[in-house]
Amino acid sequence: MNVVDTVMQAYPYLFHPAVVLGLGAVLTIHWEWSRQSAPASDLWRRVAVFLAAGALSLLPSAVYMVVTGSGPMETMQGNGAQVDALVAGGIGVVAGTTWYLWRRFDWGAAVPRLMETYAIVAVPYVALSPVWNVSGHVLLSLTPALFLTLLDRRYWPTLAVPVVMVPNRIYVDAHTWPQAIGAFLLGTVLVVGVYRLRVDGDDSLPDASGASRTH
C-alpha cells in the first residue's frame, strides 16, 4: 500500500461527516464569540452546550436499535437509505436543539443560521437517498466549509476538505462521479441560497462578500 492509497483510505474517516459538522459548528461558535464582548468562560460554556446537544445525534440510531434489535455495526454499516435516514435524523435533532438553546440564551445569530443550514441540507440528502445514492461525505463536508467561507473569507482553506472528498469517494469505490459531483453542486446551491436568504433578513451577519451589513 503506497502513501496515496493510505491517505485516501483514511481520508473519509479523518473527515467523517460527524467530525466535519462538529468542527464547523465549533469554528462558527468561536467566530461569533470573538465578535462579542463576552468572557472566555462564555466560549467554553457555548462549546459545552453544543457538545451536549451533539450527543443527542445518537438518539435516532439508539431508538432504531431498540425497536429492531439490531447492533451498532449492523445499524450504521454501509451508505444505504437506512443509514442516511439515521444520519439525517441525528443532524436534525442536534440542529434543532442547538438552535433552540442559542435563541434561549441569546448568544447571537451565526450559530442558529448554521443549524438551519444543516437541517435544510439534510432534507434533500435523506429524500434523494432511496432513489439516488448522493454522497453524504461530500455534501456534509461542503456544508460547514462553505458556510464558514461565506461568513468570513479567511475560512476559504476549509473548502479543500470537500474538494478532495469528491475524487476520494470514487477512489475508495463508494460513489460514482455523478453522485460525488452532484452532491457538491447540490450543497453549493443549498448553502449559498439559504445563506443569502437568511442574511437578507438579518443585518447581524456578513453578506456573501464578507462585509458586515450592520449599520
> What Cα–Cα distance (Å) separates residue 200 from each residue in 151, 193, 208, 214?
14, 11, 10, 12
Confirm whether pTM is higher than 0.85. Answer: yes
The rounded Cα 163 to chain-centroid distance in angstroms is 15
The grid coordinates listed for 170 are 470514487
Average pLDDT in the chain: 90
Tell me which of 17 and 214 has the higher pLDDT. Answer: 17
Helix, strand, coil percent content, the chain, rounded in steps of 5: 80, 0, 20
Q: Average pLDDT, stretch 189-196?
A: 95
143 and 189 Cβ atoms separated by less than 8 Å: no
Q: Nearest-CA neighbor of 162 among 24, 15, 13, 6?
A: 15
Instruction: Using the predicted structure, report yes or no on whether residue 65 has a pLDDT greater than 50.
Output: yes
Give me the pLDDT at residue 215, please.
Answer: 36
**Residue 184 CB coordination number (10 Å):** 20
